């Protein structure tokens, strides 16, 4: 059984990492390719609105084209930002519950939608990866099924693998990721996409590409005879041999010719196609691209007219490409402007260049460059022909260089943040070690004066003082904050080792403001103490015997506990008192033996429900302390950690408030002060052990006399346990 659990554990962690990579990279890439072309995504969203019958967001919406355009663009940017940041969080393990939850919700929405698209086929492709990778609707549906399954797995087991960035640090790289993609979207919208996944890239020879697209396929016929299949050209078909049976016909392009289904560069002058004339023209051709007359931005007319005058003066071609050439000509004529206008499909215009208007230049079928109108240079500064201007140069599109630049801008800061996290953790740990050494020195120096003054302090604290009126000096910074886990009778050896390693790894990712201890069953002690770094993670036994050694079958002595490497032992737990009849005298012996073997004692005290309802809680707790601990010297007391358990609030449906916890902790500290003096009391850590959870830990620990918690069930889950540790 244990071996099966261990094998399962070894499988789950790699599976979690694999799912993080698959889901994270998919969302990251999807958000990125959308972010570099927000206008293209907005166009695809409009197609969705029409296909899904969302009339108020269709191009003919009564709200107006401006509203639809603005909404579509905003939705495109928001969608890309959401996917990119979510992909980052999943890939690097940040927000280990929230991120998989959001991913699953997204997939539960998108998977049925893509199934509908696959069946009805209202749009050609889903556009999930923009124009970078075009998937069919069925391919997209299958992809979403895989992502849905992986998201469910992450939701269940994401806590099994650690995050790259600590909980305290994770918001910084997440915010940086959002700013990075938002910046790319803004630049791509204002100018042109930083990465161009469209077929009309700068430098493309459209004429050759169109010729490849129009190449005639060769038909190959497949026949079968005697179980053997052979291919025949059309003039080689074995018509006279009736034993050959026809199987299939396939189309094959001539060698060296590639299919190019995305180019649709067709231009019309009224009803006459003039595409070939333009592609064959060896003269320079300036093209003004206007995908929508309604949304045309006329603020750049002066630049465009200057370019027209320049082209006319030097006998270069100049024309406007728009889906409605006649309407555009009428609009220009009303403004007193006459420009040659030709017709082209709106989608093709938008594919060539983003912007309304945008400018492009072509010569001999080669697309030299394409820019937004705002980037057009002031051509009036040049009196020479085009060869003497920057316009004559083919814009070099080096995709690899752009990838390297973008990757450097994004990845280097993430690496820097990770190194900063490690450096801070290192220095904080060194500071904690120095602080502990300093405190130990001060405690030794003050021991003598403490013993001398304790009697005088005792006389100033009367028995009839109000329990909540204990006014300690500001010594809390001198005593330790502690979060201790008590596993009780849970976990096999293999499961326990895995849990301990998980806690240790989680501690390495953060800089906790408290000591962290795990209390394990006896079977775990030696293995875990040898496995973890006990300087960072304390190890405790849950009990020890009240005998030194001998014929006590099943018992474990304090010396045995110490020999495992454990540093602490939990004594006096309410379950030991209730189920095994441990009395004050038995506990007194256990404490003495533990201290004799140099173990630190986490001593539990607390009242049951009947005692609380009878108003005897203070009397009971005081008696438990006095009868088992007040025989110790002040020096021995330095190795005692108290843990208050309101037994009545554990598993009874009743809840102890933070105020009730503080009230009892203040009383306990006053009780200790009466015996050992105020300074010793102020140096004593008092933990709370009544159903402490991540949701209430911060409120509990904010009390001046609550120095941490003794945690039960929540200590069996790394994330919950760390949530309590993080409360400090």
DSSP string of 347-377?
Answer: HHHHHH--SSSEEEEEETTEEEEEEEGGG--
d(CA 122, CA 53): 11
CATH of domain 268-396: 3.40.30
The dihedral of CA 393, 395, 398, 402: what is its sign?
A: positive
Q: Which helix (H) or strand (E) holds 206?
A: helix 206-213
With residues binned 3-state (H G I as helix, E B as strand, rest as coil), the percentages for the chain, rounded to 5, are 55, 10, 35
d(CA 417, CA 435): 26
The verdict on whether omega for the bond into residue 209 sits within 30 degrees of 0, i.e. cis, is: no
d(CA 207, CA 610): 93
Q: Which helix (H) or strand (E) holds 221?
A: strand 218-225
Q: Which helix (H) or strand (E) holds 44?
A: helix 38-51
Task: Say what the pLDDT of residue 469 is.
Answer: 44
Task: Say what the pLDDT of residue 671 is.
Answer: 93
Question: Which among 645, 663, 678, 679 is annotated as catalytic?
Answer: 645
DSSP string of 143-177?
Answer: HHHHHHHHHHHHHHHGGGS--SS-TTTTHHHHHHH
For residue 205, what is the DSSP state? B
Task: Say what the pLDDT of residue 185 is.
Answer: 92
Q: Cα 582 to chain center, whole Å?
A: 49
CATH topology (fold) of 475-725: TIM Barrel (3.20.20)
SS3 of 337, please?
Answer: coil
DSSP string of 569-628?
Answer: EEES-HHHHHHH---HHHHHHHHHHHHHTT-EEEEEE---HHHHHTT-HHHHHHHHHHHH
Q: In terms of Cα–Cα distance, which of 666, 671, 583, 688 is closest to 626?
A: 671
**Residues sharing a CB contact under 8 Å with residue 397, sequence separation 6 or more, in sequence order:** 196, 201, 202, 203
Query: In the block, which residue shows the tokens 């094998």?
Result: 7
Hey, what are 204's tokens?
């493309």
Structural domain boundaries of the chain?
13-190, 218-252, 268-396, 399-445, 475-725
Contact 675, 459 (CB under 8 A): no
The dihedral of CA 7, 13, 18, 19: what is its sign?
A: positive
**Beta-sheet pairing, 341-343 with 317-322:** parallel
The answer to whether the 268-396 and 475-725 domains have the same CATH topology is: no
Hey, what are 399's tokens?
């995709």
Task: Say what the pLDDT of residue 450 is.
Answer: 44
d(CA 376, CA 387): 16
Q: What is the pTM of this model?
A: 0.59
Q: What are phi and psi of 202, to 5 degrees?
A: -60, 135
Is 314 a residue of the active site? no
Contact 295, 73 (CB under 8 A): no
pLDDT, block means (10 residues), the chain with 728 residues: 50 90 94 90 79 67 68 90 95 92 94 87 74 83 93 89 83 94 90 84 86 61 82 79 75 52 78 90 93 82 86 91 83 75 88 87 92 80 79 83 91 91 78 64 52 45 42 54 93 92 88 91 93 91 94 93 94 91 93 94 92 89 94 91 88 73 93 91 90 86 90 90 89
d(CA 349, CA 355): 10
d(CA 232, CA 552): 91
Q: Which helix (H) or strand (E) holds 442?
A: helix 399-459
Question: Which among 159, 524, 573, 665 is annotated as catalytic?
Answer: 573
Count of CB atoms situated within 10 Å of the CB of 452: 10
Is 627 a residue of the active site? no
């Amino acid at each position: 059984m244990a071996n099966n659990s261990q094998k399962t554990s070894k499988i789950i962690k790699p599976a979690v990492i694999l799912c993080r990579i698959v889901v994270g990279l998919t969302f990251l890439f999807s958000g990125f390719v959308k972010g570099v072309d927000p206008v293209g995504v907005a166009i695809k969203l409009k197609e969705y609105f029409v296909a899904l019958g969302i009339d108020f967001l269709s191009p003919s919406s009564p709200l107006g084209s401006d509203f639809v355009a603005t909404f579509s663009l905003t939705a495109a940017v928001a969608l890309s930002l959401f996917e990119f940041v979510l992909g980052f969080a999943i890939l690097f393990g940040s927000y280990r519950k929230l991120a998989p939850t959001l991913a699953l919700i997204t997939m539960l929405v998108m998977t049925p939608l893509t199934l509908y698209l696959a069946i009805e086929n209202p749009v050609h492709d889903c556009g999930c990866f923009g124009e970078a990778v075009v998937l069919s609707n069925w391919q997209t549906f299958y992809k979403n099924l895989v992502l849905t399954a992986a998201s469910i797995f992450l939701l269940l087991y994401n806590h099994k693998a650690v995050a790259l960035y600590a909980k305290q640090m994770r918001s910084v790289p997440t915010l940086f990721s959002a700013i990075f993609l938002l910046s790319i979207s803004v630049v791509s919208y204002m100018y042109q996409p930083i990465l161009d996944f469209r077929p009309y890239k700068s430098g493309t020879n459209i004429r050759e590409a169109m010729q490849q697209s129009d190449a005639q396929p060769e038909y190959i016929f497949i026949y079968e005879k005697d179980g053997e299949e052979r291919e025949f050209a059309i003039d080689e078909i074995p018509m006279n041999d009736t034993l050959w049976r026809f199987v299939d016909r396939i189309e094959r392009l001539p060698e060296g010719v590639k299919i190019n289904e995305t180019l649709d560069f067709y231009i019309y002058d009224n009803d006459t196609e003039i595409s070939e004339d333009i592609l064959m023209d060896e003269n320079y051709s300036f093209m003004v691209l206007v995908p929508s007359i309604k949304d045309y931005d006329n603020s750049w007319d002066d630049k465009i007219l200057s370019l027209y005058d320049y082209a006319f003066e030097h006998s270069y071609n100049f024309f406007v490409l728009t889906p409605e050439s006649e309407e555009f000509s009428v609009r220009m004529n009303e403004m007193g402007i006459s420009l040659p206008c030709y017709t082209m499909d709106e989608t093709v215009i938008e594919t060539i260049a983003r912007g309304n208007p945008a400018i492009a230049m072509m010569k001999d079928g080669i697309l030299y460059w394409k820019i937004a109108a705002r980037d057009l240079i002031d051509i009036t500064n040049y009196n020479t022909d085009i060869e003497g201007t920057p316009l004559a140069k083919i814009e070099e599109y080096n995709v690899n260089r752009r990838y390297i630049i973008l990757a450097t801008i994004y990845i280097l800061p993430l690496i820097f943040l990770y190194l900063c996290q490690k450096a801070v953790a290192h220095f904080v740990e060194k500071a904690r070690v120095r602080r502990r050494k300093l405190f130990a020195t001060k405690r030794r120096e003050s021991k003598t004066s403490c013993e001398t003054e304790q009697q005088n302090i005792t006389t100033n604290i009367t028995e009839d003082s109000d329990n909540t009126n204990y006014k300690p000096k500001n010594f809390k910074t001198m005593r330790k904050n502690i979060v201790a886990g008590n596993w009780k009778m849970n976990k096999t050896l293999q499961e326990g080792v895995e849990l301990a390693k998980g806690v240790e790894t989680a501690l390495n990712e953060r800089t906790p403001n408290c000591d962290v201890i795990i209390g394990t069953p006896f079977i775990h002690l030696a293995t875990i103490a040898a496995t973890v770094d006990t300087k960072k993670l304390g190890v405790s036994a849950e009990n020890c015997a009240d005998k030194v050694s001998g014929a006590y079958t099943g018992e474990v002595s304090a010396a045995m506990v110490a020999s495992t490497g454990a540093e602490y032992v939990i004594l006096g737990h309410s379950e030991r008192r209730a189920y095994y009849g441990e009395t004050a005298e038995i506990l007194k012996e256990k404490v003495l033996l533990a201290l004799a073997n140099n173990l630190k004692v986490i001593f539990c005290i607390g009242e049951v429900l009947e005692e609380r309802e009878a108003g005897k809680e203070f009397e009971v707790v005081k008696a438990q302390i006095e009868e088992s601990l007040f025989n110790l010297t002040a020096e021995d007391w330095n190795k005692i950690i108290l843990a208050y358990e309101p037994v009545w609030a554990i598993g009874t449906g009743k809840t102890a408030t933070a105020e009730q916890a503080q009230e009892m902790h203040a009383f306990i500290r006053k009780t200790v002060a009466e015996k050992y003096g105020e300074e010793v009391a102020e140096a004593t850590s008092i933990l709370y052990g009544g159903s402490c959870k991540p949701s209430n830990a911060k409120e509990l620990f904010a009390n001046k006399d609550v120095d941490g918690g003794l945690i039960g069930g929540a200590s069996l889950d790394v994330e919950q346990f760390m949530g309590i540790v993080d409360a400090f």
